[in-house]
Structure 1
Amino acid sequence: MASTTNFLIALLVVVVMVAGPAMASEHWVGDDQGWKLDFNYTKWAATKEFHVGDKLIFKYKKDVHNVIRADQEAFQNCKPSSDVTPLTSGNDLINLTSPGKKWYICGIGQHCVKGVKLAINVLEAESGSPAPSPSGPAPSSASWISPNGKFVASIVAAFAMFVVIMS
Protein backbone atom coordinates (compact mmCIF):
# COMPACT_ATOMS: atom_id res chain seq x y z
CA MET A 1 0.00 0.00 0.00
CA ALA A 2 2.85 2.39 0.86
CA SER A 3 4.44 1.88 -2.56
CA THR A 4 1.12 2.75 -4.27
CA THR A 5 0.88 5.92 -2.18
CA ASN A 6 4.50 6.80 -2.97
CA PHE A 7 3.88 6.22 -6.69
CA LEU A 8 0.78 8.46 -6.68
CA ILE A 9 2.62 11.21 -4.82
CA ALA A 10 5.58 10.97 -7.20
CA LEU A 11 3.16 11.13 -10.15
CA LEU A 12 1.55 14.24 -8.64
CA VAL A 13 4.99 15.85 -8.32
CA VAL A 14 5.78 15.16 -11.98
CA VAL A 15 2.39 16.52 -13.14
CA VAL A 16 2.79 19.69 -11.07
CA MET A 17 6.35 20.23 -12.27
CA VAL A 18 5.34 19.79 -15.92
CA ALA A 19 2.12 21.81 -15.69
CA GLY A 20 3.54 24.58 -13.49
CA PRO A 21 5.69 26.28 -16.17
CA ALA A 22 2.82 26.17 -18.65
CA MET A 23 0.48 28.14 -16.40
CA ALA A 24 -0.42 31.70 -17.24
CA SER A 25 1.27 34.43 -15.23
CA GLU A 26 -0.21 37.35 -13.34
CA HIS A 27 1.79 40.54 -13.77
CA TRP A 28 1.18 43.11 -11.04
CA VAL A 29 1.92 46.29 -12.96
CA GLY A 30 4.69 48.11 -11.09
CA ASP A 31 5.10 45.10 -8.78
CA ASP A 32 4.73 46.30 -5.16
CA GLN A 33 4.68 49.97 -6.27
CA GLY A 34 1.49 49.61 -8.30
CA TRP A 35 0.13 52.12 -10.82
CA LYS A 36 1.32 55.53 -9.67
CA LEU A 37 3.32 58.64 -10.42
CA ASP A 38 7.12 58.60 -10.22
CA PHE A 39 7.65 55.05 -11.48
CA ASN A 40 9.39 53.90 -14.68
CA TYR A 41 6.94 51.49 -16.37
CA THR A 42 9.17 51.20 -19.45
CA LYS A 43 11.97 49.83 -17.29
CA TRP A 44 9.53 47.59 -15.40
CA ALA A 45 8.08 46.09 -18.61
CA ALA A 46 11.58 45.46 -20.00
CA THR A 47 12.14 42.92 -17.19
CA LYS A 48 8.99 40.93 -18.00
CA GLU A 49 7.78 38.58 -20.72
CA PHE A 50 4.07 38.73 -21.53
CA HIS A 51 2.16 35.90 -23.23
CA VAL A 52 -1.39 35.34 -24.45
CA GLY A 53 -3.26 33.96 -21.42
CA ASP A 54 -1.35 36.12 -18.92
CA LYS A 55 -3.11 38.76 -16.83
CA LEU A 56 -2.18 42.35 -16.00
CA ILE A 57 -3.31 43.61 -12.61
CA PHE A 58 -3.32 47.36 -12.05
CA LYS A 59 -3.37 48.30 -8.35
CA TYR A 60 -3.88 51.95 -7.38
CA LYS A 61 -5.88 54.24 -5.13
CA LYS A 62 -9.40 54.47 -6.50
CA ASP A 63 -10.32 57.95 -7.80
CA VAL A 64 -6.61 58.94 -7.90
CA HIS A 65 -5.75 57.01 -11.10
CA ASN A 66 -7.49 54.97 -13.78
CA VAL A 67 -6.47 52.64 -16.61
CA ILE A 68 -7.36 53.29 -20.22
CA ARG A 69 -6.61 50.88 -23.06
CA ALA A 70 -5.05 52.95 -25.81
CA ASP A 71 -3.73 52.63 -29.33
CA GLN A 72 -0.20 53.72 -30.21
CA GLU A 73 -1.23 57.27 -31.14
CA ALA A 74 -3.23 57.81 -27.95
CA PHE A 75 -0.31 56.38 -25.97
CA GLN A 76 2.27 58.65 -27.61
CA ASN A 77 0.09 61.77 -27.32
CA CYS A 78 -1.46 60.93 -23.94
CA LYS A 79 -4.88 61.63 -25.42
CA PRO A 80 -7.32 58.74 -24.98
CA SER A 81 -10.08 58.17 -27.47
CA SER A 82 -13.45 59.51 -26.31
CA ASP A 83 -15.13 56.15 -26.96
CA VAL A 84 -12.97 54.22 -24.45
CA THR A 85 -14.33 53.64 -20.95
CA PRO A 86 -11.63 53.85 -18.28
CA LEU A 87 -11.18 51.14 -15.69
CA THR A 88 -11.57 52.72 -12.26
CA SER A 89 -11.81 50.03 -9.57
CA GLY A 90 -8.29 50.45 -8.20
CA ASN A 91 -7.81 46.71 -8.75
CA ASP A 92 -8.23 46.27 -12.49
CA LEU A 93 -7.56 42.96 -14.20
CA ILE A 94 -6.87 42.75 -17.93
CA ASN A 95 -6.65 39.38 -19.67
CA LEU A 96 -4.09 39.33 -22.48
CA THR A 97 -6.08 37.50 -25.15
CA SER A 98 -4.11 38.26 -28.32
CA PRO A 99 -0.48 38.76 -29.31
CA GLY A 100 0.97 42.12 -30.31
CA LYS A 101 1.63 45.57 -28.90
CA LYS A 102 -0.65 46.78 -26.11
CA TRP A 103 -0.79 50.26 -24.60
CA TYR A 104 -2.31 51.52 -21.34
CA ILE A 105 -2.43 55.04 -19.93
CA CYS A 106 -3.76 56.88 -16.90
CA GLY A 107 -6.33 59.45 -18.00
CA ILE A 108 -6.33 61.54 -14.80
CA GLY A 109 -4.91 65.05 -15.20
CA GLN A 110 -1.37 65.02 -16.58
CA HIS A 111 -0.50 61.58 -15.16
CA CYS A 112 0.14 60.04 -18.58
CA VAL A 113 2.45 62.91 -19.57
CA LYS A 114 4.26 62.36 -16.25
CA GLY A 115 4.88 58.69 -17.09
CA VAL A 116 1.89 56.74 -15.83
CA LYS A 117 1.65 54.72 -19.03
CA LEU A 118 2.61 51.22 -20.06
CA ALA A 119 3.52 49.70 -23.42
CA ILE A 120 4.04 45.94 -23.70
CA ASN A 121 4.48 43.33 -26.40
CA VAL A 122 2.37 40.22 -25.89
CA LEU A 123 3.85 37.02 -27.31
CA GLU A 124 1.99 33.90 -28.42
CA ALA A 125 0.91 31.59 -25.61
CA GLU A 126 3.62 29.31 -24.26
CA SER A 127 3.15 25.76 -25.52
CA GLY A 128 0.84 23.85 -23.26
CA SER A 129 -0.72 27.03 -21.84
CA PRO A 130 -4.42 26.91 -21.15
CA ALA A 131 -6.68 28.89 -23.44
CA PRO A 132 -7.11 32.44 -22.15
CA SER A 133 -10.31 33.17 -20.32
CA PRO A 134 -12.52 35.96 -21.66
CA SER A 135 -12.24 39.41 -20.12
CA GLY A 136 -14.45 39.76 -17.11
CA PRO A 137 -15.05 42.25 -14.36
CA ALA A 138 -12.11 43.38 -12.29
CA PRO A 139 -11.56 41.53 -9.04
CA SER A 140 -12.95 43.19 -5.95
CA SER A 141 -10.63 45.50 -4.05
CA ALA A 142 -10.88 43.09 -1.10
CA SER A 143 -8.76 40.53 -2.99
CA TRP A 144 -5.50 42.43 -2.51
CA ILE A 145 -3.35 39.33 -2.38
CA SER A 146 -3.68 36.83 -5.21
CA PRO A 147 -1.24 33.91 -5.29
CA ASN A 148 0.80 33.37 -8.42
CA GLY A 149 -0.02 29.98 -9.95
CA LYS A 150 3.64 29.05 -10.47
CA PHE A 151 4.42 29.80 -6.82
CA VAL A 152 1.54 27.64 -5.60
CA ALA A 153 2.61 24.82 -7.93
CA SER A 154 6.17 25.04 -6.57
CA ILE A 155 4.93 24.83 -2.97
CA VAL A 156 2.75 21.81 -3.79
CA ALA A 157 5.71 20.12 -5.54
CA ALA A 158 8.03 20.79 -2.60
CA PHE A 159 5.48 19.42 -0.13
CA ALA A 160 4.91 16.30 -2.24
CA MET A 161 8.67 15.70 -2.44
CA PHE A 162 8.88 16.05 1.36
CA VAL A 163 6.12 13.47 1.80
CA VAL A 164 7.86 11.05 -0.60
CA ILE A 165 11.19 11.43 1.20
CA MET A 166 9.63 11.03 4.65
CA SER A 167 7.68 7.87 3.64
Structure 2
Amino acid sequence: MALRALLIALAVISMVVAPAMATEHLVGDDQGWKVNFDYNKWAESKEFHVGDKLIFKYKEGVHNVYKADLTAFQNCAPGANVEPLTTGNDVIELKSTGKKWYLCGIKNHCDQGMKVAVNVLPEVLGAPSTAPASPPVSSSAFGISPNSLFVALMIAAFAMFLIIIA
Protein backbone atom coordinates (compact mmCIF):
# COMPACT_ATOMS: atom_id res chain seq x y z
CA MET A 1 0.00 0.00 0.00
CA ALA A 2 2.81 2.42 0.88
CA LEU A 3 4.57 1.67 -2.41
CA ARG A 4 1.38 2.43 -4.34
CA ALA A 5 0.94 5.75 -2.50
CA LEU A 6 4.58 6.64 -3.22
CA LEU A 7 4.19 5.92 -6.93
CA ILE A 8 1.00 7.99 -7.13
CA ALA A 9 2.69 10.84 -5.27
CA LEU A 10 5.69 10.79 -7.61
CA ALA A 11 3.43 10.81 -10.67
CA VAL A 12 1.45 13.79 -9.36
CA ILE A 13 4.61 15.69 -8.44
CA SER A 14 6.16 15.10 -11.88
CA MET A 15 2.98 16.34 -13.59
CA VAL A 16 3.08 19.58 -11.59
CA VAL A 17 6.81 20.27 -11.56
CA ALA A 18 7.64 19.46 -15.22
CA PRO A 19 5.37 22.13 -16.73
CA ALA A 20 6.63 24.59 -14.12
CA MET A 21 10.14 24.17 -15.53
CA ALA A 22 9.24 26.11 -18.69
CA THR A 23 10.85 29.51 -19.09
CA GLU A 24 9.03 32.70 -20.01
CA HIS A 25 11.14 34.82 -22.37
CA LEU A 26 10.28 38.51 -22.50
CA VAL A 27 11.17 39.31 -26.12
CA GLY A 28 13.75 42.10 -26.04
CA ASP A 29 14.07 41.74 -22.27
CA ASP A 30 13.49 45.14 -20.64
CA GLN A 31 13.36 46.84 -24.07
CA GLY A 32 10.27 44.93 -25.14
CA TRP A 33 9.00 44.75 -28.75
CA LYS A 34 10.12 47.92 -30.54
CA VAL A 35 11.85 49.23 -33.66
CA ASN A 36 15.64 49.56 -33.94
CA PHE A 37 16.49 46.68 -31.63
CA ASP A 38 18.73 43.70 -32.50
CA TYR A 39 16.40 40.75 -31.86
CA ASN A 40 18.81 38.36 -33.59
CA LYS A 41 21.45 39.17 -30.97
CA TRP A 42 18.80 38.87 -28.24
CA ALA A 43 17.68 35.42 -29.49
CA GLU A 44 21.27 34.16 -29.83
CA SER A 45 21.80 34.79 -26.12
CA LYS A 46 18.87 32.52 -25.16
CA GLU A 47 17.99 28.86 -25.26
CA PHE A 48 14.41 28.05 -26.20
CA HIS A 49 12.68 24.74 -25.47
CA VAL A 50 9.31 23.22 -26.22
CA GLY A 51 6.97 24.45 -23.48
CA ASP A 52 8.72 27.81 -23.09
CA LYS A 53 6.76 30.99 -23.78
CA LEU A 54 7.63 34.10 -25.75
CA ILE A 55 6.06 37.27 -24.37
CA PHE A 56 5.80 40.25 -26.69
CA LYS A 57 5.21 43.49 -24.72
CA TYR A 58 4.41 46.73 -26.54
CA LYS A 59 1.92 49.55 -26.56
CA GLU A 60 -1.37 48.23 -27.96
CA GLY A 61 -2.18 49.68 -31.39
CA VAL A 62 1.42 50.72 -32.07
CA HIS A 63 2.81 47.27 -32.99
CA ASN A 64 1.62 43.73 -33.56
CA VAL A 65 3.06 40.22 -33.86
CA TYR A 66 2.69 37.89 -36.82
CA LYS A 67 3.76 34.28 -36.82
CA ALA A 68 5.64 33.87 -40.09
CA ASP A 69 7.37 31.33 -42.27
CA LEU A 70 10.94 31.84 -43.51
CA THR A 71 9.89 33.58 -46.75
CA ALA A 72 7.54 36.00 -44.98
CA PHE A 73 10.26 36.67 -42.41
CA GLN A 74 12.93 37.37 -45.02
CA ASN A 75 10.58 39.60 -47.05
CA CYS A 76 9.04 41.34 -44.03
CA ALA A 77 5.64 40.50 -45.48
CA PRO A 78 3.13 38.75 -43.20
CA GLY A 79 1.09 36.01 -44.83
CA ALA A 80 -2.34 36.99 -46.13
CA ASN A 81 -4.13 34.29 -44.10
CA VAL A 82 -2.32 34.97 -40.83
CA GLU A 83 -4.02 36.95 -38.07
CA PRO A 84 -1.78 39.25 -36.04
CA LEU A 85 -1.59 39.28 -32.27
CA THR A 86 -2.44 42.78 -31.10
CA THR A 87 -2.94 42.89 -27.31
CA GLY A 88 0.41 44.44 -26.39
CA ASN A 89 1.01 41.51 -24.07
CA ASP A 90 1.04 38.60 -26.51
CA VAL A 91 2.09 35.20 -25.21
CA ILE A 92 3.16 32.45 -27.60
CA GLU A 93 3.82 28.97 -26.25
CA LEU A 94 6.54 27.14 -28.17
CA LYS A 95 4.87 23.81 -28.92
CA SER A 96 7.28 22.15 -31.36
CA THR A 97 10.98 22.03 -32.17
CA GLY A 98 12.63 23.89 -35.03
CA LYS A 99 12.93 27.45 -36.30
CA LYS A 100 10.08 29.87 -35.53
CA TRP A 101 9.76 33.35 -37.02
CA TYR A 102 7.83 36.41 -35.80
CA LEU A 103 7.55 39.94 -37.14
CA CYS A 104 5.70 43.22 -36.76
CA GLY A 105 3.38 43.96 -39.68
CA ILE A 106 2.89 47.68 -38.97
CA LYS A 107 4.29 49.98 -41.71
CA ASN A 108 8.01 49.32 -42.13
CA HIS A 109 8.64 48.19 -38.55
CA CYS A 110 9.93 44.80 -39.68
CA ASP A 111 12.50 46.51 -41.93
CA GLN A 112 13.53 48.52 -38.86
CA GLY A 113 14.41 45.36 -36.97
CA MET A 114 11.09 44.22 -35.50
CA LYS A 115 11.50 40.59 -36.36
CA VAL A 116 12.88 37.67 -34.43
CA ALA A 117 13.80 34.09 -35.28
CA VAL A 118 14.16 31.49 -32.53
CA ASN A 119 15.37 27.92 -32.67
CA VAL A 120 13.24 25.72 -30.40
CA LEU A 121 14.96 22.71 -28.83
CA PRO A 122 13.24 19.64 -27.34
CA GLU A 123 11.61 19.95 -23.93
CA VAL A 124 13.91 19.47 -20.97
CA LEU A 125 12.25 17.35 -18.29
CA GLY A 126 13.56 17.18 -14.77
CA ALA A 127 16.12 19.96 -15.16
CA PRO A 128 15.70 23.71 -15.12
CA SER A 129 16.12 25.66 -18.36
CA THR A 130 19.48 27.25 -18.94
CA ALA A 131 19.48 30.64 -17.30
CA PRO A 132 19.22 33.38 -19.93
CA ALA A 133 21.84 36.11 -20.15
CA SER A 134 19.41 38.57 -18.59
CA PRO A 135 16.84 37.93 -15.86
CA PRO A 136 13.77 35.93 -16.91
CA VAL A 137 10.25 37.27 -16.43
CA SER A 138 9.92 35.00 -13.42
CA SER A 139 11.76 36.04 -10.30
CA SER A 140 12.97 32.50 -9.72
CA ALA A 141 16.52 31.55 -10.62
CA PHE A 142 15.27 28.33 -12.20
CA GLY A 143 12.46 29.71 -14.37
CA ILE A 144 9.81 28.37 -11.99
CA SER A 145 7.29 30.95 -10.95
CA PRO A 146 6.91 31.33 -7.19
CA ASN A 147 3.26 30.22 -7.41
CA SER A 148 4.15 27.03 -9.30
CA LEU A 149 6.93 26.24 -6.86
CA PHE A 150 4.56 26.74 -3.93
CA VAL A 151 1.98 24.40 -5.50
CA ALA A 152 4.65 21.77 -6.20
CA LEU A 153 5.91 21.95 -2.62
CA MET A 154 2.37 21.68 -1.22
CA ILE A 155 1.68 18.61 -3.35
CA ALA A 156 4.99 17.07 -2.29
CA ALA A 157 4.14 17.69 1.37
CA PHE A 158 0.68 16.15 0.88
CA ALA A 159 2.23 13.14 -0.86
CA MET A 160 4.66 12.64 2.04
CA PHE A 161 1.71 12.85 4.43
CA LEU A 162 -0.06 10.09 2.48
CA ILE A 163 3.05 7.92 2.61
CA ILE A 164 3.41 8.39 6.36
CA ILE A 165 -0.20 7.51 7.16
CA ALA A 166 -0.31 4.56 4.73
The structural deviation recorded for 1:38 is 1.6
> Structure 1 residues 147, 91: CA separation in 2 closer, same or farther (over 3 Å shift)?
farther
TM superposition outliers: structure 1 runs of 4+ over 6 Å: none
Code of the residue aligned with 1:106 in structure 2: it is C
CA distance in 2, matches of 1:60, 1:146: 18
Alignment deviations for residues 52-89 of structure 1 (CA, whole Å, 9 cap, x no partner)? 00000000011110000000000000011110000000
> Normalized against structure 1, the TM-score is what?
0.67
Indicate the residue corresponding to 2:39 in structure 1: 41
> Normalized against structure 2, the TM-score is what?
0.67
Alignment deviations for residues 127-164 of structure 1 (CA, whole Å, 9 cap, x no partner)? 237xxxxxxxxxxxxxxx765543638x97xxxxxxxx
CA distance in 2, matches of 1:25, 1:112: 26
> Structure 1 residues 76, 29: CA separation in 2 closer, same or farther (over 3 Å shift)?
same
1:30-69 mapped onto 2 (5 Å cutoff):
30-69=28-67
Question: CA RMSD for the aligned pairs?
Answer: 2.8
CA distance in 1, matches of 2:98, 2:118: 8
SS in 2 for 1:150: coil
CA distance in 2, matches of 1:101, 1:25: 17
The structural deviation recorded for 1:93 is 0.3
SS in 2 for 1:94: strand
Residue 123 of structure 2, aligned match among 111, 122, 125: 125
SS in 2 for 1:43: helix
CA distance in 2, matches of 1:128, 1:100: 21
* Identity score, percent: 60
1:72-91 mapped onto 2 (5 Å cutoff):
72-91=70-89
Is residue 2:144 matched to residue 1:150?
yes
Code of the residue aligned with 2:81 in structure 1: it is D
CA distance in 1, matches of 2:54, 2:93: 6
CA distance in 2, matches of 1:147, 1:82: 39
Q: Report if the CA contact (8 A) 2:55-2:89 is conserved.
A: yes
Q: Report if the CA contact (8 A) 2:138-2:145 is conserved.
A: no
Tell me, which stretches of 5 or more residues in structure 2 are unaligned? Answer: 1-12, 128-136, 151-166
